Amino acid sequence: MATTAERPAAALEQASTAARRRRRRRAARHRQLVALAFMSPWIIGFCAFYVYPMISSLYFSFTKYDILSQPKWVGLANYRFMFTSDPLFWVAIRNTLWIIAIMVPLQVLFGIVTATVLTRIKRGLPFYRTVFFLPTMVPLVAAALGFIYILNPAGPVNRVLGVLHLPEPLWFVDPRWTKPGLTLIGLWGIGQVMIIFLASLLDVPRQLYEAAELEGARPWQQFRYVTLPMISPVIFFSVLIGMIQGFQYFTQAFVVSKAGDRTNEVGYPQDSLLFYTSRLYQQGFEGFHMGYAAAMSWVMFVVIMACTVVLIRSSRRWVHYQGGFR
Amino acid sequence: MRRRLIGLLALALLAAACTAGGGGSDKPAATVDPNANHAPLTLTVWSDFSARELGVVTAGLKMATQKYPWMTIKHVGSKNDQDIQRAVNGGTPPDVAISFTPDNAARYCDTGAWQDLNPYLQSSKVDKAKVWPEGVFSYTSFEGKQCALPMLTDAYGLYYNTDLLKKHGISAPPKTTAELADMAKKLTEYNPDGSIKVAGFMPLVGFYGSTTANTLSHAYGAKWYDENLKPTLTSDPNWTKMFTWQKAMVDAVGYDKLQRFAAKLGGANSEFSAQNGFETGKIAMMMDGEWRNAFIEGDKSKVNYATAPFPVDPDQPGLYGSGQIGGTIGGVPKGVKHPAESWLLLQFMTTDNTYLTTIAHGLKNVPSTFESLKDQQLQNDPRFKPFLDVFANQQSTFKPITPIGQTDTDLMNTFTQKWQAGKVPDLQAGLKQVEDQIAKQLQLG
């Protein structure tokens, strides 16, 4: 038990501790406010250009909105129409899945193969690296227009195929060949992925290959058991970004469609190039069904989020990080 | 925390609801006495004209400022329907809007984005029936609202290469689609490798913009909708007749051959270039609009040609002389600051015959009023006259316009692509599918 003399001293100490705490809290609050002040331009921009449009579009997705008149609340009607009545919704989904299932893996594969080949080149590596990277610098529209010319049924590619007595596809006129045609554009513009793979391949420690060689591993086994695990984080990154871009695939298909047909129809020919975002564009900006287009974007957002989560979860099984970091 | 989040969300939703879709008002306004003095005023006209055509229309508008000296006109080109709709939505519309897409007129009427002009027409004592041919109302009014008026128009007909017809002993253009098919067969020439050298007629829909399911359907009098706006693609047998004829035309040469021929011409992009198949003498007969005359002249093509109405169903000879029409429309958007003055300018642009004939000469388009159609310079041009006659024909129409704009034609075009490629085994079932698709789109509004 404290004596009467000790009581005021303890009280004084308590009071000074409380004062110190208050000062610390005030200082912390001040620091927070300063930090917030510095961050405010970004916060304002984020709220104005991300949060507000997102919430607005969520609201619009429950309305009938044609830009010209006030939005009318229709509840879940847009979502119901999407899954049960939109005549081209499932066509667009099918085409989009084609891009994700065929083009994206091919791009990753082509990126790995190109980068692997470049690691073997002894002379002129900067030149080849530049050559393969250059297409990335070409605007998407220009690239698409270039390929429209190259893959014209009477164009240079078909002339070469003709000389070789090979079948001459109608490319962007024949629905069987439109998506393979777009895949060629996708593979041509592989530079960015290739450069990342190249860096990743050059980063694989030499001693791992030496150890594998000592163990008697053949080149394929070295690639399978050393290279692939070591570059798996980059593969994961490429697949993830590729998948997201696949869901949002639009520009090249739009340019190719519009150039192929005088009726200016998105998805030409025969809806073979009607992708999810093309349908969204068609409904939103040609049909002025902005409420429905907003609903479509929210469905896309949710699907992309879900696929991303699934991919990230699955990556625990097949992606290997040096040092075990995730 | 949760309450705060809900509160914030509610606030944001409220903000979104309050700020969305702001527009102008629909205040009725009296008309301006054209003879009275008026304070100086600048009016803005938006159109999608560009390059040479923009200059022609801008020069033509000087006639309006001469007539109304208090008026200054700012004509802004390269403004499409999306730009106009955004401006209307933003509350800053042009005083007069010009659109090349009559399909959108129903939407403008339905939403009130363009004002109903009937009260203005009454105030200005403009008798519609006496000023314009009946056909223009098919693409400028919807459900009783006259929210647009025609400013020039397009009419479709047949262009034929007289040298090629003469070479094959043909002296007159076809009047029925059966005759067209026979002549096309005679006129089609092949290279030694079997590819097409000269096409008698290009039946592929979508190859050039004028050959569409819509323009061809007119030759058979096929109707899109009944009076309740219910699609009639299966109930009107003329659709089946038209598609059967069109497919037979494709099959007579071969879909693949036609596609390769089209590609060799330069594909769809050759339409408005000197490489145009008709202008280079590689297509003997072609459906096109009256503007082709100007392109043939502008491209310095040496093709010898003549024009005629497009052939029609042999079972409906009465249709001959009519065709699809439809073109540039103008309106007064909602929310304009000076609606009476806007109307005065629009009235000038759509009813002043001197103005209409002047720009019709410049643009080589069909002027849209009865009076301007009598213009001697246009009437005396034997290649242009058939288009004037097609426009004036009581049976010439645009397809019915609906609140879904061009969606119905888009769906039909996609079907036609599959049909002509031989991917539709059952025509009736295919048409039923398109009919259902259009009906569903109409549900969405």
Residues in Cβ contact with B353 at an 8 Å cutoff, skipping those fewer than 6 apart: B367, B369, B371, B372, B375
pLDDT at A3: 56
CB distance from B267 to chain A under 8 Å? yes
Question: Are B80 and B144 members of one domain?
Answer: yes
SS3 percent helix, strand, coil of chain B, rounded to 5, is 45, 15, 40
pLDDT at A259: 77
**Average pLDDT of B204-221?**
90
pLDDT in tens, A211-233: 999 999 999 999 999 999 999 99
Please determine, for residue B282, whether its predicted confidence score (pLDDT) is greater than 70.
yes
Tell which wins on pLDDT, B26 or B85: B85
Amino acid identity at B293: N
pLDDT at A91: 94
Please determine, for residue B310, whether its predicted confidence score (pLDDT) is greater than 90.
yes
pLDDT at B287: 96
Question: Are B260 and B133 members of one domain?
Answer: no
**Average pLDDT of B133-154?**
92
Please determine, for residue B156, whether its predicted confidence score (pLDDT) is greater than 80.
yes
Nearest to B333 by CA among B38, B138, B46: B46
Tokens of B5: 């989040």
- Judged by average pLDDT, the poorest of A126-130, A181-185, B218-222 is A126-130
- What values do phi and psi take at B395, rounded to 5? -90, -5
What confidence category does residue B22 fall into, taking pLDDT thresholds of 50, 70 and 90? very low
pLDDT in tens, A81-96: 999 988 899 999 999 9
DSSP letter (8 states) at residue A49? I
Question: Are B332 and B210 members of one domain?
Answer: no
The percentage of residues in chain A with a pLDDT greater than 70, rounded to a whole number, is 95
Residue B419 belongs to some domain of the structure: yes
Tokens of B358: 């002047």
- What values do phi and psi take at B161, rounded to 5? -80, 110
pLDDT at A245: 95
Residue A270 exposure: Cα atoms within 13 Å on the Cβ side: 17
Question: Are B417 and B271 members of one domain?
Answer: yes
Rounded to whole angstroms, how far apart are CA atoms A17 and A257?
Answer: 73
Strand, coil or helix: A148:
helix
Tell which wins on pLDDT, A1 or A78: A78
Rounded to whole angstroms, how far apart are CA atoms B409 and A257?
Answer: 16
pLDDT at B52: 82
Determine how many CB atoms are found less than 10 A away from the CB of residue A136: 15
pLDDT at A212: 94
**Average pLDDT of B18-47?**
68
pLDDT at B288: 95
Nearest to B126 by CA among B351, B328, B357, B392: B351
Tokens of B430: 């295919």
Q: Indicate yes or no: CB of A170 within 8 angstroms of CB of B259.
A: yes
pLDDT in tens, B68-82: 999 999 999 999 888
| CATH number for region A78-324 | 1.10.3720.10
Question: Are B130 and B184 members of one domain?
Answer: no
pLDDT at B254: 96
Domain, as residue range, for B440: 156-323+404-444
Domains in chain B, number = 2
**Average pLDDT of B6-34?**
48
Question: Are B299 and B254 members of one domain?
Answer: yes
Question: Are B180 and B285 members of one domain?
Answer: yes
DSSP letter (8 states) at residue A87? T
pLDDT in tens, B312-360: 999 999 999 999 998 899 999 999 999 999 999 999 999 999 999 999 9
DSSP letter (8 states) at residue B103? G
What confidence category does residue A264 fall into, taking pLDDT thresholds of 50, 70 and 90? low
CB contacts under 8 A, B 5-34 vs A, are 9, 12-13, 15-17, 19-21, 23
N residues, chain A = 326
Tell which wins on pLDDT, B11 or B18: B11
Q: Indicate yes or no: CB of B113 within 8 angstroms of CB of A68.
A: yes
Question: Are B213 and B333 members of one domain?
Answer: no
Q: Indicate yes or no: CB of A66 within 8 angstroms of CB of B107.
A: yes
Residue B169 belongs to some domain of the structure: yes
B17, B112, B268 ranked by CB distance to A69: nearest: B112
The residue assigned the tokens 């022609």 is B56
What confidence category does residue B25 fall into, taking pLDDT thresholds of 50, 70 and 90? very low
Residue B7 belongs to some domain of the structure: no
**In whole angstroms, how far apart are CA B425 and each of A271, B259, B429?**
18, 20, 9
Taking CA A66 as the corner, what is the angle to CA A62 and CA A68, rounded to the nearest 5 degrees?
130
Mean pLDDT of chain B: 90
Rounded to whole angstroms, how far apart are CA atoms A253 and A274?
Answer: 8
Please determine, for residue B265, whether its predicted confidence score (pLDDT) is greater than 90.
no
DSSP letter (8 states) at residue A247? H
Question: Are B330 and B313 members of one domain?
Answer: no
In chain A, the residue whose alpha carbon lies closest to the alpha carbon of B424 is A270
Domain regions of chain A by residue span: 6-60, 78-324
pTM beyond 0.95: the answer is: no
pLDDT at B403: 85
> Where do runs of H (alpha helix) occur along B102-156?
105-111, 118-123, 128-131
- What values do phi and psi take at B105, rounded to 5? -60, -40
**In whole angstroms, how far apart are CA A241 and each of A99, A107, A237, A246, B183?**
13, 11, 6, 8, 56
Please determine, for residue B235, whether its predicted confidence score (pLDDT) is greater than 60.
yes
Mean pLDDT of chain A: 91
User: How far is B237 from chain A, CA to nearest CA, in Å?
Assistant: 24
Tokens of A146: 């270039």
Q: From chain B, pick out residues whose CB is under 8 angstroms from the CB of A269.
A: 417, 421
Q: From chain A, pick out residues whose CB is under 8 angstroms from the CB of B210.
A: 262
Please determine, for residue A261, whether its predicted confidence score (pLDDT) is greater than 80.
no
Residues in Cβ contact with A309 at an 8 Å cutoff, skipping those fewer than 6 apart: none
pLDDT at A4: 56
pLDDT at A12: 81
Residue B363 belongs to some domain of the structure: yes
CB distance from A300 to chain B under 8 Å? no
pLDDT at A268: 86
Please determine, for residue B15, whether its predicted confidence score (pLDDT) is greater than 50.
no
- What values do phi and psi take at B274, rounded to 5? -70, -10
Question: Are B371 and B279 members of one domain?
Answer: no
Question: Are B204 and B304 members of one domain?
Answer: yes
Strand, coil or helix: B288:
strand
What confidence category does residue B272 fall into, taking pLDDT thresholds of 50, 70 and 90? confident
Question: Are B165 and B282 members of one domain?
Answer: yes
pLDDT at A323: 63
- What values do phi and psi take at A121, rounded to 5? -70, 130
What confidence category does residue A28 fall into, taking pLDDT thresholds of 50, 70 and 90? very high
pLDDT at B29: 52
Residue B179 belongs to some domain of the structure: yes
Q: Let me know: does A212 contact A234? Beta carbons within 8 Å.
A: no
Rounded to whole angstroms, how far apart are CA atoms A61 and B403?
Answer: 19
Tell which wins on pLDDT, B37 or A185: A185
Q: From chain B, pick out residues whose CB is under 8 angstroms from the CB of A292.
A: 444
CATH of the domain at B371: 3.40.190.10
Q: Let me know: does B123 contact B30? Beta carbons within 8 Å.
A: yes
Strands (E), chain A: 63-64, 72-73
pLDDT at A5: 56
Q: From chain B, pick out residues whose CB is under 8 angstroms from the CB of A262.
A: 206-210, 268, 271
CB distance from A131 to chain B under 8 Å? no
pLDDT at A260: 66
ipTM reported for the complex, 2 dp: 0.75
Rounded to whole angstroms, how far apart are CA atoms B407 and B148?
Answer: 20
